[in-house]
Chains A and B, each alone.
Chain A
Amino acid sequence: MYRRWLWPASALPGVLWLVLLFVVPFYAVLAVALGTVDPILFQPVPTWNPLEWNVGWLNEVFTRLAPGGIWFDVGVRTIVYVVIALALCLLIGYPVAYYTARHAGRWKGLILILIIMPLWISYMMRMLAWVNLLQEDGWVNEVLMFTQVLSEPQDWLGGRDLTVILALVYGYIPFLILPLFAALDRIDRSHLEAARDLGASPWSAFRRVTLPLSKTGILGGAVLITLPMFGDYYTPNIVSGAPSTSMIGNQIDLYFHGGPQPTIGAALTIVLAAFLTILMLYYMRTIHRAQREAGTVGAL
């Protein structure tokens, strides 16, 4: 009896954590999104009873996000930014994680610390530092002109898509590298040796063995950085400030930051969360399949 409950009970803190810090807040946002607004203070009045929920705000958000709606362009722009930033993160982050896991040797710990080190400084401060570096007379232009990559200084902060995307990459890439490193570091080297023994070239061994086995790390890291990137609003604010580079998070910020329609902000949050849930489900399905293929599911 004792042994029967011991291991399930060990999950209790995690379950409590999840309930308190995810389920309850998420339900509160839902109750706000489907609730009403105080007519005097314009504060959201949550409707806790699902039977009394008002889906009008959700419909309004869907209408605005649909083609022809006022948020269609900003929605598409957000997806494009996140997809490009994710691709760049993978292009940069995978080799770094691969090198650290497989070839760094005794430098592994140091490299990991260097990767984590930027996270010791707040995200906002790091972005503000980039504002200085990206000024027309900043170091970025100076270096690029000194190396003759540029013939004249560029206005990186003038409301450019590229600046926002690169800032997203810079801000989130450590969160991709760490799970990728963990996945690559776990790969049993005997698999690779077997592939090479069977005549696979290094590239073929990577493509047929390493890459598939690191898929969970890729997906885990991708989910980890994609979710916050979709809701990001301060990165475009800090490094651009132009409406032409705003993201959907800026709209949530606008409606939550005062005014008579906080429910619109909450409803948009719900729609965004639903969209991200699709990505999450794909990730969970992939993990589950990988575990089954590895024979870990059911073995317990």
Chain B
Amino acid sequence: MTHHPKERPNSLSRRGFLLRSAGAAAAVSGAGPLLAACGSTTSESNGAGGEGPGGLPLARPDKRVTLPRWEDPIESGLEPETGGTFTVFNYPAYFYRKLLNEFGDKYGVEVQVTPFDNINSGLQRLASGGVEPDVMEITPDTLDIGVAGELIKPLNLDYIPNLQKNIWPQLVDPFYDGESRYTVPYTCYATGIAWRTDKVTEDIAGMDQPWDIFWESQAYKGKVGLLSENRETIGMALLRKGITDINTEDPELVNQAVSDLQELYEICNVKVDDLQYQTIPEGSSWLHQAWSGDMIAGYIYYLPKGTPASALGFWRAPHGKVPVQNDCFAVCSTTKKPVLSHLFLNYLLDNGVAYENFVDFNGYQPPLNEIDPAALVREGVVPEHLENSVLTDDDLGPDSLQYGTLTSEGQQLWQDGYSNFLAGGGS
């Protein structure tokens, strides 16, 4: 029997989570504490079979999870709070300041942005009480921590009609957050390869395995980079070897991927950074693992005068073989303005706001129904040869490749592997 959260006499506290997940420090209990506490699971499957933080099932594109609500959402029909500040906890410069100001003007609040370096460290700051934001950006692979730690609040979608109205069906009821109980999507992107077409001579898109370009890049030594994200870096090395399980926790596969990455020290003195949106257009990097939004942002903002758009190249693998992801927004438990926070989520899904944020500021595409890659090319937003930077609803389907939450042991394995790669070998 499935219990609706309102039927539960008491909300489950974080302490309850911890007590139920007592046991080894690094591993969560096998009992699925949060789900057990709900009486029976509201998830439609057990995800990938393992358990993430708090015993929550691991969601995968083909294994959908509906997360239990740890408290009731706010009631419908409430008036938004006004006055004071409204804090957005996000990556720096990832939301158009003009749009934030317009939201603030509309509701009589001062919108401030508190930046974080990455979502994991942001969640840790939130948990420590060091920040008290109203809304924050979160990703599907960190969602379990937010929910199990009671750091984000369940949503009342009555306040967010734009979700149903404007957003791709795949993300209205996404696999990682069935019924959109905690999140709404913000941007989406694929991981591929960006390069300077005037410097890199190989036909990357025509190669049997385009990821091999990094292992054949001796001529570009010092100008080659990978993303500084352990999932992306190791995941890319797995894909190169034809392993499409980019959430594997098999030590042999992960260690082999790390060993392959270490070959790049000698081959091209590989760098790791997330500056490709700037360094490729400016020409200080010639070949870089990149997200699809990077080249659009690079084209809009960083391409120097006199450098043609055709100098930018981007490749991504075909559907089903390319890692795709989306960022989300959620309401933080620390908010003193829960209604306004819901309205902010609705605001960012407004067609006009989302489109303006995309084309006039960050270059990362919102998953809007009305966005059509061909139309973006026609309107000159995206150069024709970068049309593959624009995703469609199909790209995030059940057969897509997406980095999902790992078990605690899996996260250790990937982090240690990345540490090994980052150590740089003998110099």
- CB neighbours (8 Å) of B408 from chain A are 39, 42, 260
A282 to chain B, nearest CB (A): 27
Within 8 A of B (CB), among A250-298: 250-251, 254-255, 257-261
Within 8 A of B (CB), among A239-259: 240-246, 250-251, 254-255, 257-259
Complex Cα spacing A130 to B225, Å: 20
**Contact indicator B421/A243 (Cβ below 8 Å):** yes
| Stretch from B311-319, B325-333, B410-418 at the A interface | B410-418
| Stretch from A15-23, A111-119, A154-162 at the B interface | A154-162
Complex Cα spacing A244 to B266, Å: 9
Question: Provided the pairs A40-B54, A241-B272 are in contact, do residues A257 and B423 lie with their beta carbons within 8 angstroms?
Answer: no
What does the 1/0 interface line of B129-143 toward A look like (CB < 8 Å)? 000000000000000
B427 contacts A by Cβ under 8 Å: yes
| Stretch from A71-79, A91-99, A143-151, A209-217 at the B interface | A71-79
A41 contacts B by Cβ under 8 Å: yes
Question: Provided the pairs A39-B28, A260-B26, A260-B412 are in contact, do residues A241 and B225 lie with their beta carbons within 8 angstroms?
Answer: yes
- Considering only CB atoms, which chain B residue lies closest to A246 in the complex? B424
**Contact indicator B223/A259 (Cβ below 8 Å):** no
Within 8 A of A (CB), among B138-153: 145, 148-149, 151
Chain B residues bordering chain A, tally (CB within 8 A): 51
Chain A residues bordering chain B, tally (CB within 8 A): 40
- CB neighbours (8 Å) of A259 from chain B are 120, 411-412, 415
- CB neighbours (8 Å) of A141 from chain B are none
- Of the residues B18, B118, B284, contact of A257 by C-beta under 8 Å: B118
Complex Cα spacing A73 to B423, Å: 7
- Of the residues A39, A41, A71, A161, contact of B123 by C-beta under 8 Å: A41
- Of the residues A41, A74, A160, A161, contact of B124 by C-beta under 8 Å: A41
What does the 1/0 interface line of A227-246 toward B look like (CB < 8 Å)? 00000000001001111111
Complex Cα spacing A160 to B222, Å: 9
- Considering only CB atoms, which chain B residue lies closest to A258 in the complex? B120
**Contact indicator A71/B222 (Cβ below 8 Å):** no
- CB neighbours (8 Å) of B27 from chain A are 39
B392 contacts A by Cβ under 8 Å: no
- Considering only CB atoms, which chain A residue lies closest to B408 in the complex? A260
**Contact indicator A258/B420 (Cβ below 8 Å):** no
- Considering only CB atoms, which chain A residue lies closest to B151 in the complex? A41
B188 to chain A, nearest CB (A): 22
What does the 1/0 interface line of A61-101 toward B look like (CB < 8 Å)? 00000000011011001001000000000000000000000
Beyond A39-B24, A243-B265, 4 additional contacts (C-beta under 8 Å) are A39-B18, A39-B27, A42-B120, A244-B427
Q: List 23 A-B contacts (CB under 8 A).
A: A36-B25, A37-B25, A39-B23, A39-B25, A39-B54, A40-B28, A70-B419, A70-B423, A73-B423, A73-B426, A161-B427, A241-B273, A243-B265, A243-B421, A243-B423, A244-B265, A244-B269, A246-B423, A246-B424, A254-B418, A258-B123, A259-B415, A261-B415
- Chain B residues near A (Cβ < 8 Å): 14, 17-18, 21, 23-28, 53-54, 117-121, 123-124, 127-128, 145, 148-149, 151, 221-223, 225, 265, 269-273, 284, 408, 411-412, 415-416, 418-427
